[in-house]
Amino acid sequence: MPLRDFKPDHYSSLLEAKTRLVREPFTQFTALEPAIFPSEPSHYRMRAEFRIRHIDNVPHYVMFRKEDPREAHIITRFDIACEPIAAVMQPLRELIAASDELSRRLFQVDFLSGQCGEVLVTLIYHRPLGDAWQAEAETLMQQLPILLIGRSRKQKIVLEQDFVTESLHADGKHFQFRHYENSFTQPNAKVNEAMISWACEQVSSASGDLLELYCGCGNFTIPLSRYFSRVLATEISKTSVRAAQENSALNGVDNIDVVRLSAEEISAALKGVRPFRRLAHLNLDAFDLKTVFVDPPRAGLDDFTRDMVCEFDQILYISCNPQTLLRDLNHLCQNHHIKSLAFFDQFPYTTHMECGVFLQRSTL
C-alpha cells in the first residue's frame, strides 16, 4: 500500500466505496447483503517488514513503490503498524546506527507483535554473525523492550525466543497463540477477532466433526473446535503444525488432531486410496466429517481440492482473494447455496478485501 493512500480521516468513506466494488460480483450467487467488519483506521498491523538503505553510513528504513521499484523512500513514521511496533522503530534504528557491529551489512528489519505488546525484531544481514554481534544484540535488548533474532545465510541466532504470544478475544472467549517468526499469521488482530467470531457463529449449530484444510497455527481451528466433537486439521508447514499443536495445549483443547498433509493427500487418505504414515495413529473411519473449513492462499482451491470440498454438507470458506473465491463459487454453488456472506477489511486503504462465505448443500 502506498503510504500516500493512508488517510485515517477518510477511512469510513474509503471502506464504503471498496465494499461496493467487491460486493457487485457476488450478486450472481446470492442476494444476501454481506456483513461488513471494518478495521481500526490506524495502528492496525501486527507485522511490518522494511529494507534498510545506508545513507552516509547511517541505516534508514525504506520502502519501494510498485511504479518505481528502484527509488527508495525513507520511512520515519509508520502509523499503519500497531503501537508497540510504531513506538520502537526509531529508537531501534538509532541504537543500530550507533553500533558498527549491528549496522554493518544490515539489509532488512522485520517486526512481529501482538495485542499483548511483545515485539519480536529480526535483523537480517548479508554477512555471517558471530560472538561480537551477539554481545551487541544482547546489550540492545537491555535498552529496548524487544525480543531479538539475527539472521544471515544459513544462520539464525535466537537471543531469547522466536515467537510472540498473542491474545485474542473472539466468540466471547479469550484465546492465546504463539506466533512464530517467519511463519504466517493474520496481520490485523482486531479484524482477525471478527473473522473468528463470524466463523464460529456460522457453525454454532453444526453436528459431527470438522475437517480443516490450511490450518496454520490453529488461529481458527482452536475456537471452532468448541462446536465439534472432533477436528481433523491439516497443514503442510512443519513450523505451523508444531505451533497448532502447541496452541491447542496452551488453550486446553484436546479434540484436535493436526496432521502434516496436503489437501490432495488428505482426500486420498479419506477415500482409502493410499495409507499415510503420518496418519498411522488415527482411525479415519471414526470421524463423522460433515463440515469442511478452508482458508486457502491467494490462488484459492485447486481443482482436486474443490471437488473434495463439494462432498461436504457444509462449507465454511475464508478467502484472501475475492477473484479466486468467485471462481471457486462457480463450482461450489452447483450443489450448495450461500447462507451467509461477510467482508473483512484486513488491509485498509487498499483494494484488497478478505471475504467469508458459509455454504449449505442444496436439497431438491
Catalytic residues: 320, 354
Element (H, E) at 332: helix 322-332
Sequence-separated contacts (24+) of 331-339 with Cβ below 8 Å: 331/306, 332/306, 332/359, 333/29, 333/359, 334/310, 335/310, 335/361, 335/362, 336/310, 336/360, 336/361, 336/362, 337/30, 337/362, 338/29, 338/30, 338/32, 339/202
In the block, cell 455454504 appears at 359
Contact 166, 216 (CB under 8 A): no
Count how many residues are written for the chain.
364
Q: For the stretch 80-102, what's the b/e string if a residue is b when 16 or more beta carbons lie within 10 angstroms of its beta carbon? A: bbbebbbbbbeebbebbbeeebb
CA dist., res. 207 & res. 136, Å (int): 56
Torsional sign, CA 233, 345, 320, 335: positive
SS3 54: strand
CA dist., res. 156 & res. 135, Å (int): 15
